Amino acid sequence: MDYDSAYERVTQLKKFYKSLLWFGIVAGIIFFDDVFEKGKIDFSLFNGSVILVIWGIVLTVKAVKLFLLDTEWERDTIEKEMRKSKRA
């Protein structure tokens, strides 16, 4: 891995972890506010819980792209496909 790709990966990781931290802070505020005010968690659009679900899905997709489908996975897959085409 060269310097530029390593720098880009670290930048992406930093952005992801910041987003995850903000998600945790906002989720904690919303859920604890619900629990203390109503004694239960209310899943309504105006309450913010649906927004947290959507935000969580977006973070999950980013995590999959960042940790599972990274450049190393892409390189390995390209090499496998090239080996298959050489055999044929």
Residues 49-82: tens digit of each pLDDT: 778 888 999 999 999 988 888 777 778 888 888 8
pTM of the full structure: 0.68
Tell me the pLDDT of the chain averaged across its residues.
Answer: 82
Q: Could you read off the pLDDT of 37-46 as tens digits, one per residue?
A: 776 666 665 6
Q: Which domain holds residue 24?
A: 3-87
**Could you tell me what percent of the chain has a pLDDT over 70?**
86
E-assigned strands of the chain? none
How many alpha carbons fall within 13 Å on the CB side of residue 6?
3
Give the number of domains in the chain: 1
Q: In Å, how far from its chain's centre is CA 3?
A: 24
Question: Which amino acid appears at position 30 of this protein?
Answer: I
Of residues 8, 7, 18, the one with CA closest to residue 59: 18
If one compares 73 and 27, the residue with the highest pLDDT of the two is 27
